[in-house]
Amino acid sequence: MNTARLTLDPRRRVAPVPRRLFGSFVEHLGRCVYTGIYEPGHPTADADGFRADVLALVRELGVTTVRYPGGNFVSSYRWEDGVGPVDERPARLDLAWHSLETNAFGLDEFMRWVGKAGVDPIMAVNLGTRGTAEAVDLLEYANHRGGSHLADQRRDNGAVDPYGIKLWCLGNEMDGPWQVGQRSATEYGRLAAQTAKAMRRFDPDLELVACGSSHLGMPTFGSWERDVLTEAYDDVDLISLHAYYQPVDDDLASFLASAEDMDRYIDAVTAIADSVGAIRRSTKKIMIAFDEWNVWYQSAAPSTPPSGEDWPVAPPLLEDHYSVADAVVVGGLLISLLRHSDRVSAACQAQLVNVIAPIMTEVGGSAWRQTIFHPFARTARHAQGTVLDVLREGSTTTTGRYGEIDAVDAVSTWDDTTGEMTVFLVNRALETPAEVTIDVAGAQVSDIIECVTVGGTDLHAKNTADGPDHAAPRSNGTARGADASVQLTLPPASWTMLRLRAT
């Protein structure tokens, strides 16, 4: 048995929980849009063609924001193709995913869907094959009240009120060699700054995200962030990070500890951004939009787009089938995001439906929850109020990639209006349970409201459309204690949420 002691102190606050941490991502990729969120003719489809079964799961997941329309897709997308009468919209070749884009679903459909899902939109502009002018056109179409050509076009298309989209991504992964319109850091930084300046002439209060390097492992990492921000520091508010995790060489111990990598990534980009700010003697802080993160089995087929003459409509791409271990990793990554809530002000799990997603659909059939659905849904619902610093002490576990790390990782939130304190924990040791003592300094625990665990069972088990829900949180009856101390046992390789009432 490993042991761990966690100390929480309601006076040691990191930041208010940024509700935008619980964002997701809808890209025109595979079956995320078509037969994912949108499937006219499906038995549950509403008058707009939106699947009501998927909408219900999106609400249950607790997603707060959704980024759209890509991803790599956006780098050759013409947004105008997706508005106006559907039967007049052109079908286009999507160069990113080698698919045929029918454009039956576009901005106006997305905004109607967003309204029904009860989420806020995050919009990306194409800085791959297009530039500043088209970005400003899209902004005018979306956000201007009326009286100009593009705003009136939106009104004619049925959306009288402007959409008021506040958060905009200036392109996507612009350093990636796979990207249509790949650029050097300085080139992109100048384009981002110019586009940001133009967009702010329309609305100075927009929040604008510059692209970071595509991944921590990119050769561009570090110098890219520095050079982009050197050009665009004064013009943007956030810089984006993307990270996908999968087990490498069957090293499950390192995989379970993927949050170590996320921690380092966030800390590194924060330091780079602050160093650019310090050189400029700026008082402004650039925040982080971790606008793509998840487990993604990139080596598994059929992750790669089709090629050659075949340009299918909505082919099944990147349809990863997640295990209990993947759910534990997702729970751990959410702990890392919360821990950094003083600098990460938005995050998007990539993606929402079918494409490396918590929600899966069958064409014409059911919608169901993957294992990774559960830690996300519980964290989104119960991480409320303020994030508290957690002091960790105790047993370590050994990983190939990160060396000796704390076996137990944790973060806590505290809602001083309800007195509810929630602790999210992962036991990253593969074989050994952990006995955890939580000291709540300066508060009295009056009640254990709920303690649930995912994992500690068959780590390789996966859900199916009709099969059991292997990662549905089950009650953890080990939590006990009173006054300022609570004890509980975490099974090996597991994620746990403990809800306390504290005064």
| 186 vs 304, beta carbon nearer ligand AHR | 304
72 vs 379, beta carbon nearer ligand AHR: 72
Closest Cα to residue 425, out of 492, 342, 332? 332
6 or 350: CB nearest ligand AHR: 350
3-state secondary structure of 51: strand
* Closer residue to ligand AHR (CB): 71 or 128: 71
- The verdict on whether omega for the bond into residue 306 sits within 30 degrees of 0, i.e. cis, is no
| Calpha distance 410→480 (Å, rounded) | 18
- Binder among 76, 143, 172, 371 for ligand AHR (CB under 6 A): 172
Residue type for position 11: R
Which range in 66-74, 82-90, 279-287, 400-408 contacts ligand AHR by CB under 6 A? 66-74
Q: Closest Cα partner for 76 from 3, 7, 126?
A: 126
Interface with ligand AHR in residues 16-45 (CB under 6 A): 27, 29
Stretch binding ligand AHR (CB under 6 A), from 38-46, 64-72, 155-163, 468-476: 64-72
- Which of left, alpha, beta for 456 (phi over 0: left; psi -120 to 50: alpha)? left
CA R_g for the chain? 23
Give the Cα separation of 428 and 136 in Å (integer).
47
Smallest CA-to-CA distance from 83 within 153, 30, 151, 33 is with 153
Query: Nearest distance from residue 348's CB to ligand AHR, in Å?
Result: 9
Site residues for ligand AHR, 341-370, by CB under 6 A, read 350-351
Give the residue at shortest CB distance from ligand AHR: 71
Please work out the total of residues on this chain that contact ligand AHR, with binding judged by CB under 6 A.
11
Of 109, 225, 231, 292, catalytic? 292
- Binding segment for ligand AHR (CB under 6 A), chosen from 65-73, 76-84, 304-312, 494-502, is 65-73
Neighbours of 301 (CB within 10 A): 6
Residue 124's nearest CA partner among 192, 60, 202, 205 is: 192
447 secondary structure, DSSP code: E
User: Catalytic annotation on 187?
Assistant: no
**Using CB under 6 A as the criterion, what x/- string covers residues 194-223 for binding ligand AHR?**
------------------------------
Q: Does 235 bind ligand AHR (CB under 6 A)?
A: no
Residue 124 binding ligand AHR, by CB under 6 A: no
Q: Shortest Cβ distance from residue 350 to ligand AHR (Å)?
A: 4
- The token pair at 369 is 């929850």
Q: How far is the CB of 216 from ligand AHR (least distance, A)?
A: 13
Of residues 211 and 256, the one with the C-beta less far from ligand AHR:
211
> Of 140, 292, 320, 409, which one interacts with ligand AHR (CB under 6 A)?
292
CA distances from residue 245 to 14, 235, 249, 473 in whole angstroms, order as listed: 26, 31, 13, 22
Give the residue with the Cβ less far from ligand AHR, 227 or 292: 292
Q: Which of 173, 207, 225, 420 is catalytic?
A: 173
Stretch that binds ligand AHR, among 67-75, 370-378, 423-431, 460-468 (CB under 6 A): 67-75
* Residue 333 contacts ligand AHR per CB under 6 A: no
Buried b vs exposed e over 154-192: b needs ≥16 C-beta within 10 Å? bbeeebeebbebebbbbbbbbbbeebbbbbebeebbebb
Question: Would you call 54 helix, strand, or coil by DSSP?
Answer: helix
In angstroms, give the least distance from the CB of 257 to ligand AHR: 22
Q: What is the closest distance, in whole angstroms, from the C-beta atom of residue 106 to ligand AHR in the complex?
A: 18
Least distance from ligand AHR to the Cβ atom of residue 292, Å? 5
- Cβ-based neighbours of 285, under 8 Å, separated by 6 or more: 273, 274, 277, 343
Q: For ligand AHR, which residue of 18, 23, 30, 70 counts as binding (CB under 6 A)?
A: 70
Q: Is 6 exposed, middle or buried (0-12, 13-18, 19+ CB in 10 A)?
A: buried
Rounded CA gap, 114 and 164, in Å? 13
Least distance in angstroms from the C-beta of 422 to ligand AHR: 29
In the bound state with ligand AHR, the residue whose beta carbon lies nearer, of 348 and 408, is 348
| 87 three-state secondary structure | helix
Active site residue 292: yes
Q: How far is the CB of 211 from ligand AHR (least distance, A)?
A: 9
Q: Does 72 bind ligand AHR (CB under 6 A)?
A: yes
Residue count of the chain, please give it. Answer: 503
DSSP conformation class of 305? P
75 binds ligand AHR (CB under 6 A): no
* C-alpha to C-alpha distance for 26 and 364, rounded to whole angstroms: 20
Q: What is the smallest separation between the CB atom of 171 and ligand AHR, expressed in angstroms?
A: 10
Residue from the set 53, 108, 173, 227 that interacts with ligand AHR by CB under 6 A: 173
Binding site for ligand AHR (CB under 6 A): 27, 29, 70-72, 172-173, 242, 292, 350-351
Show which residues are catalytic: 173, 292
